[in-house]
Amino acid sequence: MGSNPAAPTILFPAHLPVAFENPGLPEFPAGGCGWMFRRVWIGMERSAKRNSVDIGEVDILAPNLKKRMSGVTSTVFRLVPVQARSLRIATVGPAIPSNIPQVSLLEVARMARRGPSGVRVWHARRNIEMVAGLLLKTFLRKRLRLVFTSAAQRDHKPFTKWLIGRMDRVIATSSKSAGFLEVENTVIHHGIDTGLFSPAADKREIRRRLGLPETSVLVGCFGRVRFQKGNDLFVEAMLRLLPDRPDVVAVMMGGVTEENRKFADNLAARAQSAGLGERILFLPEEKNWDISPWFKALDLYIAPQRWEGFGLTPLEAMACGVPVVATRAGAFEDLVADGETGRLVDIEDIDALTHATVELLDDPPMRAQWSENAVRHVEENFRIEIEADAINAIYRDLLAAS
C-alpha cells in the first residue's frame, strides 16, 4: 500500500474530514503523531476488507468498539442479525463474526453525510461509542440520530451524564437501570434466541459430548470469575450441601483475568481441601460463541452475583428448562418469577442462597414443574424478537422524524 500523491497531507485533526472524502493513503507528518495516525489509517483500511454490506444502503449503525468478548458485545452480536430481518442495519468495530452484517470504521468515516432515509441512527452502548457518534455528527458532519442503551445500576459519572444528555433517545435495560437515569428513557429488557437456547432433546448425550458426568444432578454457575460475580458464594454453598448429596456435581465455568487469578485459585484450593475437588469442577471459559449446550446440560443454575449490569445467564438457563436461584442483583428481579421459575435471595445472603438451592435439589417434582414454567416464561416475555422489535420501533420513529 503506497501513498497517494493526490491525497491531502494530514497535519492536524481538522484536516481529517477532507482526508476521509479522498481515496488512497494520505501523507502524514513525520514524528510520533504522524506514525500513530498512519497506523490507525492502515488498520481502518485493512478492516474494510471485512465489509459484508454496502454502507450506502445502511440506515442503522450499531457499533461494538471493543475487541474482547463482553455482555455488551454479546448483545450486539445477537441482536443485529435479528434486526436486519426488517431494517437496514450493520455493526462496526473489531473482531466481528463474518455472519453478522457489518461495515468498517473507515467506511463509516467516509460515508455520505446523508443516509438512504435522510438521517442514520447510531446506537451506542458504551461511553466510547457515544463519543464516536458525537464526533461523527459534529466533527465529520454526518446526519445522525444518537441512541444510547444503559444497563448501569449506579450513579453515572459527570462525563457520562453529559454524553447521555446529548443523545436523541435513551434505552434502559431494566427498571433498576432506568432509576439511575436523569433523562427520559424507555425500558426494553434483553431477550435471547429461544431457537438456540431451548430444552435438551438428549441431556445425557450433551453431557457426554462436553465431558460432564452423565447421570449426576448438575448445578452450574457460569461467567467471569471475580468477586463481584459471587463465585465464592457459589463455592461456599456447594461446600455446605454437597457432602450430604453424593449425586450432585457443581460446575463453575468462566474466564479468569490475571488480576483475578489468586481469587480463582483460592476457590479451587478450598474445594480440594474439603475433599470435593472431583465434585466442584472449575472449567475455563467456553471459547465458542454458542454456549447453549452448557446450559442444556444442567439441572439447576445459580446466579450469586453481588453486582450485575443486566445478567443474561438466568434467562439462558430458564430458556433451556433449567430453574434458577439468583440474587437480587442486576435485572434478576425482572427476569426470575420467584416461586415459579426459580428463587430470588438477597445479595450475599449465603444462608438463603444455600437453602433455596437445597430446596430445589431435594424436590425433583418441583424442579421439573419449574423447568416447564421457565421455558414458557421466557418464550412469552424474553424472546430476542421482542427486544429487537421494540428497539426497531425507536429506530423507525427517529428515521421518520427526519
Model pLDDT for residues 346-370, shown as the tens digit of each residue: 999 999 999 999 999 999 999 999 9
Neighbours of 5 (CB within 10 A): 7
pLDDT at 370: 98
| Mean pLDDT, the chain cut into blocks of 10 residues (402 residues total) | 44 44 52 53 49 88 87 88 96 90 93 96 97 96 97 92 97 92 95 94 96 97 95 98 98 94 96 96 83 96 93 95 96 95 98 98 98 97 96 97 78
Cell of 40: 490507525
> pLDDT tens digits, residue range 190-244?
999 999 999 999 999 999 999 999 999 999 999 999 999 999 999 999 999 999 9
Comparing C-alpha atoms, which of 320, 326, 328 is closest to residue 377? Answer: 320
* Strands of the 324-327 sheet, one edge to the other: 280-283, 248-253, 217-222, 300-303, 324-327, 342-345
- Which one, of 48, 8, 11, 13, lies nearest residue 30 by Cα? 11
pLDDT in tens, 260-285: 999 999 999 999 999 999 999 999 98
Q: Domains plus CATH for the chain?
A: 1-41 (no CATH), 48-191+387-401 (3.40.50.2000), 203-382 (3.40.50.2000)
Q: Do the beta carbons of residue 170 and residue 147 sit within 8 Å?
A: yes
Tell me how far apart the terminal alpha carbons of the chain are, to the nearest angstrom. 40
Whether the CA torsion 327, 330, 210, 282 is positive or negative: it is negative
Grid cell locating 191: 431477550
Q: Count how many residues are written for the chain.
A: 402
